Amino acid sequence: MDRFDFSPLFRSTIGFDRLTRLADAAMRVDNASLGYPPYNIETTGEDSYRLTMAVAGFSPDELDITVQQSSLVVTGKAKKDEQETRYLHRGIARRAFERHFSLADHIKVTGATVANGMLHVDLAREVPEAAKPRKIAIATGQREPVSAAPQQEPVKQQAA
């Protein structure tokens, strides 16, 4: 069962057609890439979030953070070591990675830092004034009829 029928949900909602695309994308996730690099998503306030990703061994210039439409992409590409190192055991994985995160509407990246092998990406929900709820005044009384064309007064001719 890899398809869901969202039609009962869409009977009472407007503008959530992106939901089916997100559900389909979640079902097609590659299980091999789920564990690397590990990350946390936490709330830091009512409308603020932090993505923390373990990127041990990566320098800031080897990491790339891109926001495109409603998707956050974090990419890491380790550079080759300039000196040949012979490892007896290599347990720190510096393999390339690309992580995709779907962002909700009005979520903006506000900053990113790397400290102690952890990449912190700060995000905030910034709802524009036009998208915030507003009160609509209800007038009382008779409704004036709306005509298709504005009425023009007849032109009076002056006597010459």
Domains of the chain and any CATH numbers: 35-81+89-129 (2.60.40.790)
Q: What is the pLDDT of residues 51-105, one digit of tens each?
A: 999 998 899 999 999 998 888 999 999 888 777 788 888 887 788 999 999 898 8
Which DSSP category does 159 fall into? P
DSSP H helices in the chain:
7-10, 18-27
Q: What is the pLDDT of residue 82?
A: 72
HEC profile of 13-58: CCCCCHHHHHHHHHHCCCHHHCCCCCEEEEEEECCEEEEEEECCCC
